Amino acid sequence: MTAQTVLRVQINGHPVEVPAPAERILLDLLREDLNLTGTKRGCDLGTCGCCTVLIDGRPTLSCLTLAAMADGRAVTTVEGVSAGPTLHPVQKAFVEHGATQCGFCTPGFVMTAVALLREHPHASREQVMDAISGNLCRCTGYTKIIEAILAARPGSSH
């Protein structure tokens, strides 16, 4: 067993100090050590996108990321997207447009979409499709997910 180090990470805006062995994977740190179970484990291989979180605002597959790589950085999970009980416009649009069915891929899509619209508030359909190409959904055929993200753009009518 390798030695533990203490990681200092901003999790959803809160500074957190958490001891972790060097090989700790970020997804495990979030789900197992910090009980942030909103981030989903779909494959552990970086193939499905269910575990997508933001590190310093960039969508990142937490199952392929060592927790140590988040040291000193800001991690946002799906739990940090909404302000208390108020849903983020992307989350609201996902509900209203039927972009979530079984919901297991949804946190990953939400994180990808939040990052996209932060960088490109007026993203085109093509940009939306490109952005979500790292996320798999087996329920929706993506159609309503794309509609929801487009509707969540500032100025779009829901």
Partner 1 sequence: MEAAPPPEHRLLGGSIPYVEGPLKVAGRAEYTDDLKRPGMLVGKLLRAPWPHAKLLRIDVSKARAMPGVYSVLTGDRYPIPFGVLPITKDETAIAVDRARYIGDIIAAVAAQDELTAERALAAIDVQVEQLPEYTDPRMGRTRVEAPIHEKGLNHSNIQKEVVQHFGDVDEAFRTAAATVRVRASFAGVTHAFTEPQCTIAEATPDGRLTIWSSTQVPHYLHRSLSEVLGLPMHRIRVIKPEVGGGFGGKSDPLPHEIACAALALETGRPVKILFDRDDVFYTNHGRHPTFNDVRIAADADGHLLGYDIEAVIEGGAWSSFGTVTTYYNGVMAMGPYRLPNFRYKGQRVFTNRPPSGAMRAHGGTNIRYSVEVGLDELAEQLKIDPFDLRVRNALPPNSTTINEFRITSTSFLKCLSAVRARSGWADKWGRLPYGQGVGLGCGFYISGSNSPIHFTPKMPQCTVHLKADMDGGITVHCMQADIGQGSNTLLAAIVAEVVGVALDRVHVSAVDSDITPVDIGSYSSRVTFMMGNAARRAAEGLRDRLLDATHQLTGYPRDALQVRFERYEVDHRPDVGVSYMDALHQAMQGTGALQSTGSYTSPPVGGTFKGARAGTAPAYSFAAYVAQVAVDAETGVYAVEKVWAAFDCGRPLNRLAVEGQIHGSIHMGLGQLMGESMDYRGPRLMNPSLLDYKILMPHQMPEVECLLVGDDDPEGPFGAKEAGEGPLVATLPAVANALYDAVGVRFYDLPITPDRVLKGIDRRQADGRAWKGH
For partner 1, the binding residues in 94-123 under the rule CB under 8 A are 94-98, 100-107, 110
- Asked if 59 touches partner 1 (CB under 8 A), the answer is no
Strand-by-strand arrangement of the 4-11 sheet: 14-21, 4-11, 74-76, 52-55, 58-61
Only one of the segments 2-10, 31-39, 66-74, 150-158 lies at the binding site for partner 1 (rule: CB under 8 A); that segment is 31-39
Task: Report the nearest approach of partner 1 to the CB of residue 137 (Å).
Answer: 7
- Asked if 66 touches partner 1 (CB under 8 A), the answer is no
Q: Using alpha carbons, select from 157, 38, 139 the residue that is nearest to residue 93.
A: 157
Q: Using alpha carbons, select from 144, 97, 146, 84 the residue that is nearest to residue 117.
A: 146
- Asked if 33 touches partner 1 (CB under 8 A), the answer is no
Of 18 and 79, the one with the shorter C-beta distance to partner 1 is 79
- Alpha-carbon distance of 137 to 156, in angstroms, equals 24
Only one of the segments 2-10, 79-87, 115-123, 150-158 lies at the binding site for partner 1 (rule: CB under 8 A); that segment is 79-87
- Asked if 139 touches partner 1 (CB under 8 A), the answer is yes
- Alpha-carbon distance of 116 to 132, in angstroms, equals 9
Among 19, 72, 121, 141, binds partner 1 (CB under 8 A): 141
- Asked if 47 touches partner 1 (CB under 8 A), the answer is yes
Residues 6+ apart with CB under 8 A from 39: 27, 30, 31, 50, 51, 52, 53, 62, 77, 78, 107, 108
Residues that bind partner 1 (CB under 8 A): 31, 36-45, 47-48, 50, 77-79, 81-82, 87, 90-92, 94-98, 100-107, 110, 129, 132-133, 136-146
